[in-house]
A and B are shown apart, each in its own frame.
Chain A
Amino acid sequence: MIASLNKVEVDYPGRGRALGPVDLALAPGEIVALVGPSGCGKSTALRLLAGLEPPTRGTVTRAAGRGETSVVFQAPTLAPWLSAAANVALPLELAGTPKAQARAQAIDALAKVGLKGAETARPAQLSGGMAMRAALARALVTRPRLLLLDEPFAALDEITRRALADDVLTLAAELAPAVVFVTHNVEEAVYMARRVVVLSAGPGRIAGEAAVEGPVVRPPGFRASAAFRETAERVSRLLAGKVTA
């Protein structure tokens, strides 16, 4: 296991129970999508897995250390005063990598996400899709064993979203981190993950799971395949609460 949630519950003062009890275990290299309605605690689950927040009850185990976990948020969350390359180099520099080496690795990482030539651009000069790619490069530059994505495509248009989804899967296949992909979009969850975990709201609990067949990097036309449609349908029904796990 690279990380797991064991009977975790999270209460927020004044707002009551946000999550739990939830059990979730991640195998190394596994790609899991967490899908659920707004307020079901999926982002909370992600922060627990990242070690950014402690659970109120239950335990979180993490085999991936601090430098081995990366998070991408819904917004690119780049520092506006730093160039794209400096933003990507930041996690390496904070960990003590010499500046020149961090810079070289950052430029490589930017090239991998298709941002060759944008190294000196500031975040304000990047489009939404490009900024998200830079955030992805920053997450991957440390070669994490656990990659946590919190609705990373939510603010993007459909075309950019699909292109980025394929790029994330290609990079995941190459670097093989365990990936947790949080989304409220059923199709996106089924496309991205080999295992879709459905959360119900108020408080967030696991309503069921669905396995998705096929290779990590989805072949063209995968969205039109019968397997994709059937899984999406099953996940939708789990979300609507018509099937119990």
Chain B
Amino acid sequence: MKLLAPFLLIALLLAAWEAACRLLAMPVYLLPAPSAIGAALAEGWPLLLASAWNTLSTALVGLALASVLACGLALLVSLNPTVEDAVRPVAVTLQVTPLVAIGPLMTIWAGIEHPQRAVVALAAVAAFFPIFSGALTGLKAVDPDLARLFDLYGARRAQRLWRLRLPSAVPALLEGCKVAAGLAVVGAVVAEFVAGSGGNQGLAWRILEASNRLQTARVFAALAVLAVLGVALHGLLSLTERRVLAWWRGR
């Protein structure tokens, strides 16, 4: 029942939507009925699937890029408290700058002929901060008594890093990656909108294209695919997080 309940709600909402559209004779360009969206999905699925793959792969490349950069920087910063004090406010300032506002800059830097690069870069920017912040928090989330034992045993700097701080960072880092994956998709979609060219035919491009032609049912179809993509990605990362944490804890 617990698993079924959300599907029941969705079915109920769709039925109400369908009924309202028919009863009110809603124009299809304003609010298409679910049946029309279903038809758009059935008709356009090969293209939508290819676009979904474009968006997903862009987000994943951005995520990978962000992981490497964020972990590397977090590690460097964590080695020196003064550097950390210097970097943290700067990082927060960059983080609260709206992603959309950075978009045009990225398209300029990537060059008009490489919109793909701008999209990947923006996905990476979106994913960077949760990972950076998770890794940094994790690197500092060392049990203070365990750290005292390392002092007592005369652990060297490298030993302390490899055998205490890096393994201690794993749970917070995983949490950061989970949040980052969702944001990477957001970043990829936003970037496609901003780049505004068909250079990277992702789901955002499908939405732009359909809305320009007032094919509202297609807009909804692309949105539905985007939602499913988000849920699937979140589910996949939650599962990965649970698995890795279970391995970390030995259970």
Name A's B-contacting residues (CB within 8 A): 47, 50-52, 66-67, 69-71, 73, 75, 77, 79-81, 83, 90-91, 94-95, 121-125
Q: Which 9 A-B pairs have the closest CB atoms?
A: A122-B250, A77-B145, A94-B153, A91-B153, A81-B167, A66-B154, A73-B145, A124-B249, A94-B155
| Nearest CB of chain B from residue A206's CB, rounded to whole Å | 25
In the bound assembly, the distance between CA atoms of A69 and B151 in angstroms comes to 11
Contacts of A71 in B (CB 8 A): 148-149, 152
Contact yes or no, B251 A94, CB < 8 A: no
Contacts of A66 in B (CB 8 A): 152-154
Contact yes or no, B159 A94, CB < 8 A: yes
In the bound assembly, the distance between CA atoms of A40 and B250 in angstroms comes to 38
Interface membership of B150, Cβ < 8 A: yes
Contact yes or no, A77 B149, CB < 8 A: yes
Contact yes or no, B143 A125, CB < 8 A: no
Q: Which of B155, B159, B167, B251 contacts A79 (CB 8 A)?
A: B167
Contact yes or no, A81 B170, CB < 8 A: yes
User: With A77-B143, A81-B167 as given contacts, are A90 and B153 in contact (CB-CB < 8 Å)?
Assistant: yes
Nearest CB to that of A74 among chain B residues? Answer: B145
Q: Which of B225-251 touch A at CB < 8 Å?
A: 248-251
| Nearest CB of chain B from residue A208's CB, rounded to whole Å | 30
Contacts of B170 in A (CB 8 A): 81
Contacts of B148 in A (CB 8 A): 47, 50, 52, 71, 73
Contact yes or no, A75 B145, CB < 8 A: yes
User: With A75-B145, A77-B143, A81-B167 as given contacts, are A95 and B153 in contact (CB-CB < 8 Å)?
Assistant: yes
Contact yes or no, A69 B251, CB < 8 A: no
| Nearest CB of chain A from residue B66's CB, rounded to whole Å | 25
Contacts of B146 in A (CB 8 A): 77, 79
Contact yes or no, A94 B249, CB < 8 A: no
Contact yes or no, B167 A52, CB < 8 A: no
Contacts of B153 in A (CB 8 A): 66-67, 90-91, 94-95
Contacts of B249 in A (CB 8 A): 80-81, 122, 124
Nearest CB to that of A73 among chain B residues? Answer: B145
Q: Which of B154-171 touch A at CB < 8 Å?
A: 154-155, 159, 163-164, 167, 170
Nearest CB to that of A51 among chain B residues? Answer: B152
Contact yes or no, B152 A124, CB < 8 A: no
Contacts of A47 in B (CB 8 A): 148
Q: Which of A69, A73, A90, A121 contacts B250 (CB 8 A)?
A: A121
26 of the cross-chain contacts (CB-CB < 8 Å) are A47-B148, A51-B152, A52-B151, A66-B153, A69-B152, A75-B145, A77-B143, A77-B145, A77-B146, A77-B149, A80-B248, A80-B249, A80-B250, A81-B170, A81-B250, A83-B250, A90-B153, A94-B154, A94-B159, A94-B163, A122-B249, A122-B250, A123-B250, A124-B251, A125-B250, A125-B251
Nearest CB to that of A122 among chain B residues? Answer: B250
Contacts of B155 in A (CB 8 A): 94
In the bound assembly, the distance between CA atoms of A47 and B251 in angstroms comes to 34
Q: Which of B154, B163, B248, B251 contacts A95 (CB 8 A)?
A: B154
In the bound assembly, the distance between CA atoms of A83 and B248 in angstroms comes to 10
User: With A50-B152, A66-B154 as given contacts, are A124 and B167 in contact (CB-CB < 8 Å)?
Assistant: no
| Nearest CB of chain A from residue B141's CB, rounded to whole Å | 12
In the bound assembly, the distance between CA atoms of A198 and B218 in angstroms comes to 80
Specify which of B148, B167, B248 lies most central, judged by the most chain A CB atoms within 10 Å of its CB. Answer: B148
Q: 12 new A-B pairs (CB below 8 Å) besides A52-B148, A81-B167?
A: A50-B152, A66-B153, A73-B145, A73-B148, A77-B146, A79-B146, A81-B249, A83-B250, A90-B153, A94-B163, A122-B249, A125-B251
Contacts of B145 in A (CB 8 A): 73, 75, 77
Contact yes or no, A52 B248, CB < 8 A: no
Nearest CB to that of A47 among chain B residues? Answer: B148
| Nearest CB of chain B from residue A232's CB, rounded to whole Å | 30
Contacts of B152 in A (CB 8 A): 50-52, 66, 69-71
Q: Which of B53-109 touch A at CB < 8 Å?
A: none
In the bound assembly, the distance between CA atoms of A123 and B233 in angstroms comes to 32
Specify which of B146, B152, B249 lies most central, judged by the most chain A CB atoms within 10 Å of its CB. Answer: B152
In the bound assembly, the distance between CA atoms of A201 and B148 in angstroms comes to 25
Contacts of A122 in B (CB 8 A): 249-251
Contacts of A52 in B (CB 8 A): 148, 151-152
Contact yes or no, A124 B151, CB < 8 A: no
